[in-house]
Amino acid sequence: METTKKDKDWIKYYEEKDILNEVSDDPADLVLAEGLRQEILSGKLKRNLKNVTIKIDPLQIMAIKKLSTMKSIPYQTLIRHWLAEGIKQELDSVIR
């Protein structure tokens, strides 16, 4: 995949700017349609996967790959599983 000038501008922005100062600890209201919430929590939502790029420490990647081998599942599937579980926990704690 080719990196465009617009992508390079965003990469430069996030590498040079300390965005942690822009993050707020204030609570945020999250509202989902009840049907969508139930589909997400049940895991039955039919979905298309989308590629994303994140920076991860190489040692963490090695650990994830080792764990995925031990569990006999692809490492990307393991990461998606962890993300889904984290999202479910956050939804349960925020929306009650």
pLDDT per residue as tens digits for the range 20-54: 667 677 777 777 788 777 777 777 766 688 899 99
Alpha-carbon span 76 to 62, nearest angstrom: 12
Arithmetic mean of pLDDT over the chain? 81
User: Which pTM value belongs to this model?
Assistant: 0.50
The structure tokens listed for 85 are 């579980």
Alpha-carbon span 73 to 71, nearest angstrom: 6
The structure tokens listed for 47 are 């979905």
